[in-house]
Structure 1
Amino acid sequence: MNSYEKLLIEEPEIIIYDQADLEDDSKGFYVETTVAKVILISKKVKITKEKRCVLAEEFGHHYTTVGDITDQTKVENRKQELKARRWAVKRLIRVEQFIDAFKAGVRNRHELAEFLDVTEDFIETALDHFKGIYGHSYTIGEYTIFFSPLYVYKSFE
C-alpha cells in the first residue's frame, strides 16, 4: 500500500472521488453537505504523490475551514486556504525529515520530493511554513536546517 492509499483510508467518514471533472485548474475540492462529506480530486491529477498532496490539503479544509471559500479575492477566504495548506504540511512533513533526507544522501529538491513522497511545489509550501515558524533556520541537536536556501548543516563540535 503506497502513502496515498494509506491517506485515503484515514478518514472513512469522508467520501473521496479522485476522478472528478473540476472547473478551472482546481486540483481538489472539499464540500460538506447534510448528507455527506466529500473530497473531489481532479482527474487531471495523475501522479500519485501529487494526489497525496491534494488530498492532504483537502483534509486540511475539512479540519480548518468553514463555509464557501472559493472566492479567493476575499482576504478571509485566502486566510482559510492558507490554514488548510499549513494543516497539510503538518500532516505530511516533519521538520526532522530534512535531516533524515540529508543523512540519506539527498542533495536536491527533486530527490527531496521523492524521499518525502510529495511534489516539489509542496516542498516549497513546507519550507515557507517552517520559515514562518522557525525563521531562517532551526537547530536540532548537532544539525541546523536552513530554509532559504534549503541546506542542512551538521556541526562537528
Structure 2
Amino acid sequence: MNKLEKLEQEAFEDKVKIHDYYLGEESLKGIYIDGNIAINTSVYNTTEKICVLAEELGHHHTSVGNILNMEDLSNRKQERQARLWGYNKLIGLTGIVNAFESGCQSAYEASEFLEVTVEYLQECIDCYRDKYGICTEIDNYIIYFIPNLAVMEKV
C-alpha cells in the first residue's frame, strides 16, 4: 500500500469521505467540511495529492468550526495545527533521519524518498524550525534546522 492509499484508508476508517471537486480556483488545493474532504481537480499529481490529503485529514483531527477567515488568530493557530499534523504524519523527525540514513543529499532526493513535494518538505522544515529552534534530538541523532537542515549521528 502506498502513502496515498494509506491516507485514503485512514480517512475511510474515520468515516471521512474524499471527493475530487473543482473548488473554483487553482490556488485552493483542498478543503475539509464536516467529515468531507474535497481535493481540487487541479491537483492531478499523486505526490501533491498526498500532501493535500494529509493536511485536510489534519483539519479533521485538529480543527473546530469554520476557520476560513485567516485574519482571526485562533483560525491561524488551527491552520498551523492541521499542517503540523500532516507534517508529522508524512515526514516527522524520524522521516528526516531516515532520509539522511538513506543517503539523500538534497531536498529533491529527500522529498522523493519521503513521497512529498519539495515545497511541502520545505514548509515542514520551516515549521519544525519555528517549533524546535536551532536543533532537536531524536534517538541517537541531532537534527539541525539553522542555518540549514543537517542531521548528525551522536557518537
The residue that corresponds to 2:63 in the other structure is 65
Q: Report deviation, 1:131.
A: 2.1
| Equivalent residue runs for 1:3-152 within 5 Å | 3-12=3-12, 13-17=15-19, 19-24=20-25, 25-32=27-34, 37-140=35-138, 142-148=140-146, 149-152=148-151
8 Å contact kept, 2:70–2:76: yes
Percentage of matched positions with identical amino acids: 38
* Partner deviation per Cα, 1:11-32 (whole Å, 9 max, x = no partner): 2211101x21102321000011
Structure 1 runs (4+) deviating above 6 angstroms are: none
Pick the structure with more helix per residue: 2
Q: TM-score, normalised by structure 2?
A: 0.88
Distance 1:154 1:117 in 2: 24
Distance 1:131 1:6 in 2: 27
Q: Report deviation, 1:146.
A: 1.0
* Partner deviation per Cα, 1:55-87 (whole Å, 9 max, x = no partner): 011111111111111121222211111111011
Q: CA separation of 1:143/1:58 partners in 2, compared to 1, >3 Å: closer, same or farther?
A: same
Q: TM-score, normalised by structure 1?
A: 0.87
Note the residue ranges of structure 2 that are not aligned, 5 or more in a row. Answer: none
Q: CA separation of 1:75/1:137 partners in 2, compared to 1, >3 Å: closer, same or farther?
A: same
Note the residue ranges of structure 1 that are not aligned, 5 or more in a row. Answer: none
Q: Which amino acid aligns with 1:23?
A: G
Matched pairs, number: 151
Q: CA separation of 1:90/1:141 partners in 2, compared to 1, >3 Å: closer, same or farther?
A: closer
8 Å contact kept, 2:141–2:153: yes
